[in-house]
Amino acid sequence: MSLAFQSALEFSAAADAGLDEALIVDLDGFEGPLDVLLALARAQKVDLLKLSVTRLAEQYLAFVREARRRRFALAADYLVMAAWLAYLKSRLLLPKPAAGGDGELTAEDEAGRLAFRIAKLDAMRRAAEALEARPILRRDVFPRGDPEAARIVSRRPFEGDLYELMSAYVAQRRRREERLYRPPSPVTLRLDEAREHLRELLPALTRWTALSGVAPARRAEGPSRASCLASTLAAGLELVREGALEARQLVAFEEVYLRGRKASGHKAAA
């Protein structure tokens, strides 16, 4: 599995350019509609929680239109967001319905929720940057290069977390599965069963009868038809050798016919 991380975006550049070329060209750099909305919202240069959602909706719709005009294949979630924003915008512009309270969120609530999500993503993005700006071990700050001894270790019982435990479990189970792979052996009609079956039929086999008619019919969970035929043929040949049966085949690959041998057959059966 390849981890195709998207290259970092230069947001300030996009913001300076307002909503134009920069954003459109960078479509591939965005991680979905919320990401685009954040970039647009940053361009408004206001507290993200006090953002004008109608303006944001317009900008986003323009962005999507432009992107489509340039024949970018737009993912469905971009279009879903566009449709939802168009709807939200229209609701924000309409006069408020007299009574709410039927559980449905007001347009203002929806707008607030969207602004919150954008502000939250923004906060997390800044947090990620702030973390990277910390003095990072072995990048900015360095521990003792030559500790005197592994003897002075912190008393943590040992390391290892659930993930490690799970990995260990799966790793060995997987190895075991590989080692123990055993394809199920097919169910076959046993030769002695086939013999028994033929012996029972023998008295009735006074005329040449096709092997396919002699072989036992397939039962639900039983051996396959091919196995029944093969075992019956093998058993039949044994009986031929013992003189209880005759077999013949007129053309290669055609049906085999069996017939009981009069006197000797009955003798053998008895």
The minimum distance between CB 181 and other proteins, in angstroms, equals 7
Site membership for other proteins, residue 161 (CB under 8 A): yes
Site membership for other proteins, residue 35 (CB under 8 A): yes
CA distance 5 to 28: 12
Q: Which of 76, 141, 220, 251 binds other proteins (CB under 8 A)?
A: 141
Site string for other proteins, 185-224 (x = CB under 8 A): ----------------------------------------
Site for other proteins in 13-32 (CB under 8 A): 31-32
Cβ distance to other proteins smaller for residue 113 or 266: 113
**DSSP category for residue 29:** G
DSSP secondary structure string for all residues of 203-261: GG--S-EEHHHHSPPPPSSS--HHHHHHHHHHHHHHHHHTTSEEEEESSTTS-EEEEE-
CA distance 197 to 233: 12
The minimum distance between CB 267 and other proteins, in angstroms, equals 52
Cβ distance to other proteins smaller for residue 169 or 208: 169
> Which tokens belong to 207?
């005329």
Cβ distance to other proteins smaller for residue 82 or 214: 82
Site membership for other proteins, residue 183 (CB under 8 A): no
Q: Which of 13, 165, 226, 269 binds other proteins (CB under 8 A)?
A: 165
Q: Which stretch binds other proteins (CB under 8 A): 52-60, 87-95, 150-158, 222-230?
A: 150-158
CB neighbours of residue 59 within 10 Å: 22
Site for other proteins in 70-129 (CB under 8 A): 109, 112-113, 116-117, 119-121, 123-128
The minimum distance between CB 17 and other proteins, in angstroms, equals 20
Cβ distance to other proteins smaller for residue 49 or 226: 49
Which value, in Å, is the radius of gyration of the alpha carbons in the chain? Answer: 40
Site membership for other proteins, residue 49 (CB under 8 A): yes
Cβ distance to other proteins smaller for residue 162 or 217: 162
Q: What angle do CA 78, 81, 83 make, to 5 degrees?
A: 110
Greatest extent of the chain over all pairs of C-alpha atoms, in Å: 109
Cβ distance to other proteins smaller for residue 110 or 246: 110
Q: Is the dihedral of CA 142, 148, 150, 153 positive or negative?
A: negative
Residue pair 255/210 in contact (Cβ under 8 Å)? The answer is yes
**Residue 51: which of 63, 61, 37 has the closest Cα?**
37
